[in-house]
Structure 1
Amino acid sequence: MTAPRTPARLALTLGCAAMLAACGGSSGGGGLLGGTPTPSPTPTPSPSATTASCSLSARQDWALEQLNEWYLFPELMVPGTSKTAHADLQNYIDAVVQPARDRSFDRYFTYVTSIREETAFFQSGSSAGFGFRLGYDTSARRVFVIESFEGAPALAQNIDRGAEITAIGTTGSNLQTVNALMAGGGAQAVVDALGPSDPGVTRVLRVRDPSGAERTLTLAKTDFTLDPVSSRYGYRIINDGGRQVGYINLRTFIDTAGPDLRAAYQAFRDAGVTDLVIDFRYNGGGLIDVAELMGDLMGRDKVGQVYDYITFRQSKSSESSTYLFRSQPQAIAPTSIAFIGTGGTASASEMVINSMQPYLPNTRLALVGENTYGKPVGQIALDRSACDDRLRVIAFRLENANRQGDYYTGLASTVPNTCRATDDISRQLGDPAERMLAVALDFVSGRGCSPFSATTQATGREILQPRRPDAVQANLPGSF
């Protein structure tokens, strides 16, 4: 039997907080660990900061109380942190957990966000934006579209993967080049120029299409619903020299990913697929329930065996649990898996990779692309609905069936094989000729590859991310 799961008032998630561009963003979530997702109550409008219950001081006191009770590394908190020295709640939280930051145990994974925004995203993928994901090259001072989302404004104007954003303005007469923005203020200047993530925010963009043609257009941010598995390229069966290989690209671990994952694995099962390429290159994490479902769908021959261990601090050990593979009608039994990853691959994505390692022969599992971010810990959601505050607290660590965890430097040092490849934005995701996918196909087909180490420097672009992301950007890294 699986150990009892955590109580309903705790919402657990695996996400990489988006303070660092290399992290690729954060993923929080509102679903219960191992149970049916439970929506948070609809919060009342946030009271004014002058209201006593939601004053900065009161919010700081509340956050500290939660950290004292739940934080995974209580010995790495700063006692007596000054409240008056910090002008906002996040800065205060950062100061309290600074020792854990210094040891890379909590790289901005503990943060405060909006209950309202996060709940909308995790339940349905709802967000407001242009509907593209951006990457940037610091040295060349260039920004590219690395993915566009269906049903969103950008794709409606044929802005897709491989396009370059060369200038941004609020009108056609005040366009600023991306080169000038980055020269003056780095990546954050581009983030600021794109404006807040509110419906109706409009920007004029100069776009260079992959063909080289340039055009200037006006784009407005609107509400749209994210499909976690793209209807264009999210999953397919690739005929690789007669070998049938299942490919799936999961954008994020949200509630609505379940049906998409089931459909993909049913197609794989129907076709007799046993070789998989799982593309997590931009996936910063998300709901742990969905990560466990993905494991179940690869566990046809593993039912009842350990998928993951979740361990809380000693004072909360009653919350610790073990998840066993469960039977799913769409499940397959893969004999080889190539996981595509980058520095933006984090948390729930890393959990899936780590949890599958004990069950594949050493020659049949690989990490393709670059080293992952390194986040073997997860958050719980602690809510103060009157203030629309959701505190994401690092509260548990993760291990696979062999009790392997602590991969704070990424998974390249733990997986049996690595295959070096760069993200090829000249080709669409899911194209067998795209470099990362081509190398992954080489691995599962036994054609070999060039390895990399945990210390190998990445040569690709970074995901563009605000210093302080909103709830959606924190859960869908690089999205605007």
Structure 2
Amino acid sequence: MSNVARSLLSSVLAFSLVACGGGGSSGTPPIGGGGPTPSPTPTPTGCGLAAQQDFADRVLNEWYLFPDLLAAANPANFGSVQAFLDARVAPARAQNRDRFFTFATSIAEENALINSGSSAGFGIRLAYDTSASRVFVMEAFEGANGLAAGLDRGSEIIAIGTDAANMQTVTSLFASGGTQAVVNALGPSTPGTTRVLRFVQPGGAVVERSITKTEFSLDPVSDRYGALILNDGTKRVGYLNLRTFIVSDAANQLRTAFGQFGAQGVRELIIDLRYNGGGLVSVADTMGDLMGSGRVGQVWSRTVLRPSKASENTTRTFRSEANAIAPTRIAFITTGSSASASELVVNSMIPYLGTSMALVGGNSFGKPVGQAGFDLAACDLRVRAVTFQTVNAAGQGEYFTGLASVVPNTCRAGDDITRPLGDPREASIAAALDFLGGRTCTAFTSANQIKTAGAMTEGQRERIGLDLPDREALMPEQPNAAQRDNPGLF
């Protein structure tokens, strides 16, 4: 019998609880700790499409969280495992409970991301203006070629080409094929792919660079702005920007950050999760422990499976961490790209902070469920199926329309890409400081949760979440493992 690792893998929108095993797994890497232990799913013979679909079907029939919301589907009518999964879970999707959270992925690709943050690309996060069809860099990652070439937060990409002689403007790409045309022009996520990008830097300089995609490691807590002490008058506020929960080393980086906060006597926090699509629940649990000084043994969260698997339900309590603090007030910065493990952390703090916490920026995506990953190792197939829901100590876990429906305070703010992340003058950080300082802010509700853009397909609309009312993460139709958890990653 193989282990299930409790996890919320998010993309904006593919998040998962990982279950090791099922179908001949050699051992799925732990994505989270603890959790239920499923019986292995029988391994089909061979790696043909029919055999892989049969494997996926068995997983859903035994483990899917909403068994009454599974549709009958003839696998012969579908040309891929993903299309078959989409058809089977369509009733749950129609009720907003599985918005493409159940998916098929590569074992090797996902393991590389979890173990080292490894991904191939320019190392930038992109979003597009839905009304003006403009593409902006929201974030650039250290150690990757994009930042080295001069791309950083606030840069606008205005033209793309395979070389300087065949540049196509972003405007013409949108006109010819919408967002997917822009994605296609940027090229595949394979090392060695080179593109010439013409872009406008925040200061107004127009730059043209040939940039090659390489393997790079996604650092969960930026060395530039990941953990800072901000001064609000005479008060010190800890600012933490966590890019992703999916890289296992994020837990140790969080320990270091909270050690810095504790040493400075910080008790009020801004936790910036604005682009964080989720990841490992084990990392989310560690973050809770680091905010749980004095709460060891109290309930952090509960994992609830389908009725037939109720014996697998678990309770996670706060555990002792050497660098833990006891925050008195927290402002969580979120957008529609904040999902899964990000939402678990926010929701789990509500019973302990109540009105002393706020959601700042915009509403989160709305994913209180997680997936288990079942491996068909010989075929490099991992089926991520929604298998559990998480609830907090008060039993609250119904935030399918986003956390604005359950967090006591909200403060609307924009995502000001003209200023660096970590800058106290940036719109969302300024609003967070206002909340912590007892100053007024404008509330928002969950009513604005799900928007769509006409040029996008249904699958893409559901997968990505929203950063701002007029800006959305740029996502391919078939995102890779890294893009699922890091919306807009290229």
TM-score by length of 1: 0.92
The one-character-per-residue Cα deviations of 1:188-247 (angstroms, maximum 9, x if unpaired) are 111111111110011111111111111211111100111100000001111110111000
Task: Assess if the C-alpha contact under 8 Å between 2:198 and 2:208 holds in 1.
Answer: yes
1:290 equivalent in alignment to 2:283:
yes
Query: 1:342 is matched with which residue?
Result: 335
Query: 1:169 is matched with which residue?
Result: 161
What is the distance in 2 between the residues matched to 1:357 and 1:109? 25
Secondary structure of the corresponding residue to residue 122 of structure 1: helix
1:10 equivalent in alignment to 2:4:
yes
Q: Within 5 Å, which residues of 2 pair with 1:374-453?
A: 374-453=366-445
Query: 1:359 is matched with which residue?
Result: 352
Secondary structure of the corresponding residue to residue 84 of structure 1: helix
Q: State the Cα distance separating 1:8 from its structure 2 match.
A: 4.9
Q: Within 5 Å, which residues of 2 pair with 1:17-416?
A: 17=11, 23=12, 26=15, 30-35=29-34, 53-79=46-72, 81-253=73-245, 254-362=247-355, 364-416=356-408
Task: Assess if the C-alpha contact under 8 Å between 2:275 and 2:338 holds in 1.
Answer: yes
Secondary structure of the corresponding residue to residue 13 of structure 1: coil
Task: Assess if the C-alpha contact under 8 Å between 2:17 and 2:31 holds in 1.
Answer: no
What is the distance in 2 between the residues matched to 1:110 and 1:456? 24
Secondary structure of the corresponding residue to residue 360 of structure 1: helix
In structure 1, list runs of 5 or more residues that go unmatched: 1-6, 18-22, 37-50
Secondary structure of the corresponding residue to residue 187 of structure 1: helix
What is the distance in 2 between the residues matched to 1:276 and 1:303? 20
In structure 2, list runs of 5 or more residues that go unmatched: 19-28, 36-43, 450-467
What is the distance in 2 between the residues matched to 1:466 and 1:343? 17
Evaluate the alpha carbon distance shift between residue 430 and residue 386 of structure 1 in structure 2; reply closer, same or farther with a 3 A threshold. same
What is the distance in 2 between the residues matched to 1:26 and 1:204? 33
Evaluate the alpha carbon distance shift between residue 391 and residue 193 of structure 1 in structure 2; reply closer, same or farther with a 3 A threshold. same
Task: Assess if the C-alpha contact under 8 Å between 1:24 and 1:345 holds in 2.
Answer: no
What is the distance in 1 between the residues matched to 2:285 and 2:306? 22
Evaluate the alpha carbon distance shift between residue 52 and residue 328 of structure 1 in structure 2; reply closer, same or farther with a 3 A threshold. closer
Secondary structure of the corresponding residue to residue 236 of structure 1: strand
The amino acid of 1:409's aligned partner reads: T
The one-character-per-residue Cα deviations of 1:403-424 (angstroms, maximum 9, x if unpaired) are 0011000010111000010000
The amino acid of 1:156's aligned partner reads: A
Q: State the Cα distance separating 1:184 from its structure 2 match.
A: 1.9
Evaluate the alpha carbon distance shift between residue 24 and residue 64 of structure 1 in structure 2; reply closer, same or farther with a 3 A threshold. closer
- Identify which range, 379-388 or 207-216, moves more after superposition: 207-216
What is the distance in 2 between the residues matched to 1:323 and 1:11? 13
The amino acid of 2:4's aligned partner reads: L
What is the distance in 2 between the residues matched to 1:449 and 1:475? 30
The one-character-per-residue Cα deviations of 1:409-451 (angstroms, maximum 9, x if unpaired) are 0010111000010000001100111110010011011112111
What is the distance in 1 between the residues matched to 2:395 and 2:434? 30
Q: State the Cα distance separating 1:127 from its structure 2 match.
A: 0.8
Q: State the Cα distance separating 1:78 from its structure 2 match.
A: 1.2
Q: State the Cα distance separating 1:24 from its structure 2 match.
A: 6.1
4+ residue runs over 3 A deviation = 23-30
Q: State the Cα distance separating 1:170 from its structure 2 match.
A: 1.0
- Identify which range, 340-349 or 181-190, moves more after superposition: 181-190
Task: Assess if the C-alpha contact under 8 Å between 2:135 and 2:156 holds in 1.
Answer: yes
The amino acid of 2:333's aligned partner reads: I
Query: 1:471 is matched with which residue?
Result: 481
- Identify which range, 191-200 or 274-283, moves more after superposition: 191-200
Percent identity over the alignment is 55
Task: Assess if the C-alpha contact under 8 Å between 2:230 and 2:239 holds in 1.
Answer: yes
Evaluate the alpha carbon distance shift between residue 164 and residue 94 of structure 1 in structure 2; reply closer, same or farther with a 3 A threshold. same
What is the distance in 2 between the residues matched to 1:456 and 1:111? 26
What is the distance in 2 between the residues matched to 1:395 and 1:255? 22
Q: State the Cα distance separating 1:32 from its structure 2 match.
A: 4.5
What is the distance in 1 between the residues matched to 2:239 and 2:103? 34
Task: Assess if the C-alpha contact under 8 Å between 1:422 and 1:460 holds in 2.
Answer: no
TM-score by length of 2: 0.90
Task: Assess if the C-alpha contact under 8 Å between 2:138 and 2:152 holds in 1.
Answer: yes
Q: State the Cα distance separating 1:34 from its structure 2 match.
A: 2.5
Aligned residue pairs total 453
What is the distance in 1 between the residues matched to 2:354 and 2:389? 25
Task: Assess if the C-alpha contact under 8 Å between 2:69 and 2:89 holds in 1.
Answer: yes
- Identify which range, 457-466 or 66-75, moves more after superposition: 457-466
Secondary structure of the corresponding residue to residue 123 of structure 1: helix
> What value does the CA root-mean-square deviation take over the aligned residues?
1.6
Q: State the Cα distance separating 1:35 from its structure 2 match.
A: 4.8
